[in-house]
Amino acid sequence: MKTANIPSLRVDPALRLAVESVLEAGETLSAFMEQSLRAQIERRRTRQAFLARGLASRDEAAATGEYYAADEVLRELDTMLLDAQSKGHN
């Protein structure tokens, strides 16, 4: 597979020093940057999916007129959490 380049990134010298100070043994700045990009992509994809589910839920509730009170939902979530914890799924 061919590789592609990411444009070079100009940063404040203090930021570069901060990054270099947290590199693990044998880790390169390039490897750190690639891992950081991959992690940020995953966070944004997760956020986009979360928002899409929320908007779809909102639309479904508006279409059906079926809504739930926040305290009812929180009680159900607490029950689910306690059940999972009692089964050893922390």
| Alpha carbons 1 and 64: distance in angstroms, whole number | 49
2-41: pLDDT as tens digits: 889 999 999 999 999 999 999 999 999 999 999 999 999 9
Q: How far apart are CA 50 and CA 85, in angstroms?
A: 24
Type of residue at 33: M
The predicted-structure confidence for 33-80, as pLDDT tens digits, reads as follows 999 999 999 999 999 999 999 999 999 999 999 999 999 999 999 999
| SS3 (DSSP) at 87 | coil
Q: Which residues contact 61 (CB under 8 A, 6 or more apart)?
A: 67
Structure tokens given for 59: 């639309």
Q: Does the CA dihedral 78-83-89-90 come out positive or negative?
A: positive
